[in-house]
Amino acid sequence: MEKFTVLVGVAAPLPMINVDTDMIIPKQFLKTIKRTGLGRNLFDEMRYTPDGKEIPDFVLNKAAWRQAKILVAGANFGCGSSREHAPWAIADFGIRCVIATSFADIFYNNCFKNGILPIKLPQEQVDKLMDDASRGANATVTIDLEAQEIRGPDGGCIRFEIDPFRKHCLLNGLDDIGLTLQKQDRIAAFETTRAAAQPWM
């Protein structure tokens, strides 16, 4: 998993509450087990017409936000079904951080497992960042995970809280497999000992 240290990029405003996982990545795209290729279908039904043409008014179709790395959204982001394809699609598009007042629990946990930093903030701070994001490509935002700070284009700074273990995993690029492989020597030693003691296994 790619490390998350300092992220600098354009933030896209999505002032909608209760954005569910079917809106993030519709059900017809869940057949794949690959984490790549889903970015083009992120928010598919809001980005494209039924015949596949871009909807010009959707934020990620506008020139200023096509390369957005941060998403500022409304409350209860990621609700609905527990599909892990939702964070896969967000990450594959290039978004590494989602900021909202609240998240659905399963989506929130899945973000950390896929290298995405979900940040919970009070409404007034989300509103400020939403305003910053509305300025487009001229207003870059910096997310400093080590310092736990969001720095806006006007020099303002917002601090955020994060669980220390999850912070450690993101800073070091450790997903569940990576955490397990940190104990590879102990696992190998156990397997060797068990093979000698129980050769029939």
**DSSP track, 156-177:** -EEE----HHHHHHHHHT--HH
pLDDT of res. 179: 63
**Residue 62 vs residues 12, 44, 94: alpha-carbon distances, Å:** 10, 15, 15
Q: Smallest Cα–Cα separation from 70: which of 21, 6, 27?
A: 6
Q: Where are the domains of the chain?
A: 6-174
Q: Which amino acid belongs to residue 45?
A: E
Distance CA(168)–CA(150), nearest Å, equals 18
pLDDT of res. 189: 66
Stated as kind and residue range, the H or E segment containing 89 is helix 85-93
The single residue listed with the structure tokens 């497992």 is 113
Stretches where the chain sits below pLDDT 50 are none
Query: Residue 142 forms beta bridges with which residues?
Result: 8, 151
Distance CA(39)–CA(166), nearest Å, equals 24
Q: Give 125-153 pLDDT, tens digit per residue.
A: 999 999 999 998 778 999 999 999 999 99
pLDDT of res. 102: 98
Distance CA(11)–CA(136), nearest Å, equals 7
Distance CA(174)–CA(54), nearest Å, equals 36
pLDDT of res. 160: 98
Asked if 90 and 29 touch (Cβ cutoff 8 Å), the reply is no
Q: Give 51-73 pLDDT, tens digit per residue.
A: 999 999 999 999 999 999 999 99
**Residue 76 vs residues 17, 18, 102, 164: alpha-carbon distances, Å:** 6, 5, 5, 23
Looking at CATH, the fold of the domain delimited by 6-174 is given as Aconitase; domain 4 (3.20.19)
Distance CA(178)–CA(184), nearest Å, equals 10
